[in-house]
């Protein structure tokens, strides 16, 4: 793909086509990546926000609500209801921090961990299938691209 530094109109148009194609591929790839987990979640009346909460809390048991907000880059209002729903369904436990009673610590329950594992296993299989046969360098480049996208604000 062109770096966009060339002033030639033909190169600029080709670069734009390639970037638009990349946007479409990212959109369709993400749709495929989330389709089956979305179905599993919908069966329980849950959505992607619930999945993200379970995923990151399972990775970091005892994560505070404030830390979760930082990881997800969302407001407290955006996760308040989903956290309460997960707690009410027995998928998440909310505990008061021993050292600071203002801090709420999150931990997935056994049932929450099982659901998170089911959802993530589906996605890991999709990624493994996509990477299969492409070689380590292709996977490395994919990780680099995703990291660069994630760092942009």
Evaluate whether 50 touches 85 at the Cβ level (below 8 Å): yes
The pLDDT value given to residue 11: 86
Q: Is 4 within the bounds of a domain?
A: no
pLDDT in tens, the chain (153 residues): 545 555 566 789 999 999 999 999 999 999 999 999 999 999 999 999 999 999 999 999 999 999 999 999 999 999 999 999 999 999 999 999 999 999 999 999 999 999 999 999 999 999 999 999 998 899 999 999 999 999 976
Within a domain: 11: no
Q: How far apart are the C-alpha atoms of 99 and 16, rounded to whole Å? A: 54
Residue 132 sits in a domain whose CATH number is 1.10.10.10
pLDDT for 9: 64
Asked if the structure places residue 30 within a domain, the reply is no
Asked whether residue 29 is assigned to any structural domain, the reply reads: no
pLDDT of residue 7: 56
Q: Containing domain of residue 67, as a range?
A: 46-151
Burial class of residue 46 in the structure, from the number of CB atoms within 10 Å of its CB (0-12 exposed, 13-18 middle, 19+ buried): buried
Domain presence at residue 37? no
Q: Is the pTM of this model over 0.85?
A: yes
In the chain, the number of structural domains is 1
38 within some domain: no
**Domain presence at residue 13:** no
Burial of 43 (0-12, 13-18, 19+ CB in 10 A): exposed
- Would residue 1 count as lying in a domain? no
pLDDT of residue 1: 57
Alpha-carbon distance of 114 to 120, in angstroms, equals 10
């Amino acid at each position: 793909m062109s770096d966009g530094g060339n002033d030639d109109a033909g190169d600029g148009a080709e670069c734009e086509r390639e970037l638009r194609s990349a946007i479409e591929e990212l959109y369709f790839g993400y749709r495929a990546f989330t389709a089956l987990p979305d179905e599993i979640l919908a069966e329980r009346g849950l959505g992607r926000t619930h999945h993200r909460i379970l995923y990151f809390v399972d990775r970091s048991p005892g994560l505070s609500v404030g830390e979760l907000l930082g990881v997800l880059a969302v407001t407290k209002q955006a996760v308040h209801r989903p956290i309460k729903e997960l707690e009410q369904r027995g998928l998440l436990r909310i505990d008061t921090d021993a050292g600071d009673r203002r801090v709420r610590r999150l931990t997935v329950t056994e049932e929450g961990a099982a659901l998170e594992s089911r959802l993530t296993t589906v996605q890991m299989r999709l990624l493994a299938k996509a990477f299969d046969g492409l070689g380590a360098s292709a996977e490395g480049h994919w990780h680099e691209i995703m990291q660069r996208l994630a760092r942009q604000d």
